[in-house]
Structure 1
């Protein structure tokens, strides 16, 4: 059976879920308490991280590698451009969100506010929260600048770069940490991607002890 071992608010898992849903690949979702580092989980991925996907008898880890594998094996609809230049830009932006944005924003807001409590690691560090709240403004402005020149983040077509960005922002939106009024381009972009059928399972996520805000699943904000 095809399975995805995931954690609901993990942006890396959400990116893979978006790709699977967009390509209409059915998998069973298994919520994984990856921080407990069980032997069974470590056998699936010695790196001890989610997502881990079992598809067609193969076990795979690392979200970017999984997403590119899925795009190559199931090419419709395409999420990577055909040109080397286009693929470079998508990969650059995926790295931007999964590395820089994650380090400066997601880990400082989501992980402090939610993950620490779920994992039993204590209370949020106010310095980290303040840092993340300041840095997200820069990233939203950068996205707005990109969208001033393009229909989607990496060009004129929706790509994996949009899913990478939306995965992080949707997880942060679950805890009301995105100021959607800061940039109209970004808000319009998110409304477009949020309205896609592939996004609906994410909008149905619930984390015990952390109810989402009313606007989270509202396609019109």
Structure 2
């Protein structure tokens, strides 16, 4: 974002294949908020992550003269301060369902699938932290089947994951799946319903910057950036 005042620049400190960073990037893009992306290789000497966020976690969004942390809190802040298009429903029961599913993916899915697979297959290589543990990867690939079946059951009775409108729950889930899809660890043949849902999200303009990501030393799957896969 070009501006004469550096303090007005909206800046996201992130890492490319983090589902939490991608979740925020999707919301920013969906709401057409211009942002400067700054990679923070927090495991390297010289990172200022603790100064920006004492919790030592990414993403961190510099916006409105503040440093904002925690992806769910950031996304809801963006939805409240930039309400169009809305990513949270109007009623309390519907908002509850969105938050429940966001927590499902950021907690349960991340613990059982995203984190173990990405740690072993990507981050150990990038951080030069040893060789992948095949047993951990195998457990993650087994666990994802249960999650895909659960998501399919939701989508068989709903237009979107949390109901009849696209919400933050869809972006949260898509952020996690996009990381795994980058390394071709999603068996889309398991569910045509889920594949159609992901293809619809993937085709949105908000997804374009994610599909352009390239992590040095870790090449994306051949189908990763294809909208029709």
Fold-level match, TM-score > 0.5? Answer: yes
Using structure 1 for the length normalisation, give the TM-score. Answer: 0.98
1:96-130 per-residue CA deviation (whole Å, 9 max, x = no partner) reads: 00000000000111121001111121111112101
CA distance in 2 between partners of 1:213 and 1:27 (Å):
27
Name which of 38, 47, 52 aligns with 1:44. Answer: 52
SS at match of 2:228: coil
Deviation at 1:213, TM superposition (A): 1.4
Aligned residue number for residue 183 of structure 1:
191
The 1:21–1:39 alpha-carbon spacing in structure 2 relative to 1, beyond 3 Å, is closer
Unmatched 5+ residue regions in structure 2? 1-8
Q: Give the secondary-structure state (helix, strand or coil) at the position aligned to 2:188.
A: coil
| Offset of residue 38 of structure 1 | 4.1
Alignment correspondent of 2:222:
214
What are the residue-to-residue correspondences of 1:9-158 with 2, within 5 Å?
9-36=17-44, 38=46, 40-158=48-166
- The secondary structure found in structure 2 opposite 1:169 is helix
What whole-Å deviation, never above 9, does each CA across 1:21-51 have from its counterpart, x for those lacking one?
0000011000111223746221101111110
- Checking the alignment, whether the CA contact within 8 Å between 1:112 and 1:129 is kept in structure 2 is yes
Counterpart of 1:53 in 2: which secondary structure?
Answer: strand
SS at match of 1:92: helix
Root-mean-square deviation (CA, aligned residues, Å) is 0.9
- TM-score w.r.t. the length of structure 2 is 0.95
- TM-superposed CA distance for 1:156, in Å, is 0.4
Q: Is the 8 A contact 1:37 1:48 kept in 2?
A: no
The answer for the alignment partner of 1:172 in structure 2 is 180
Structure 1 residue 55 displacement after superposition? 0.8
Regions of 4+ moved over 4 Å: none
| Structure-2 change in CA distance of 1:5 and 1:95 (3 Å) | same
User: How far apart are the structure 2 equivalents of 1:45 and 1:4?
Assistant: 12
Q: Deviations over 1:113-159 (max 9, x none)?
A: 00111112111111210110100000000000000000000000000
Corresponding pairs, count = 221
Deviation at 1:172, TM superposition (A): 0.3
Please tell me whether residue 197 in structure 1 is matched to residue 205 in structure 2. Answer: yes
* Distance (whole Å) between structure 2 residues aligned to residue 29 and residue 111 of structure 1: 23
**Is the Cα contact below 8 Å between 2:40 and 2:47 reproduced in 1?**
no
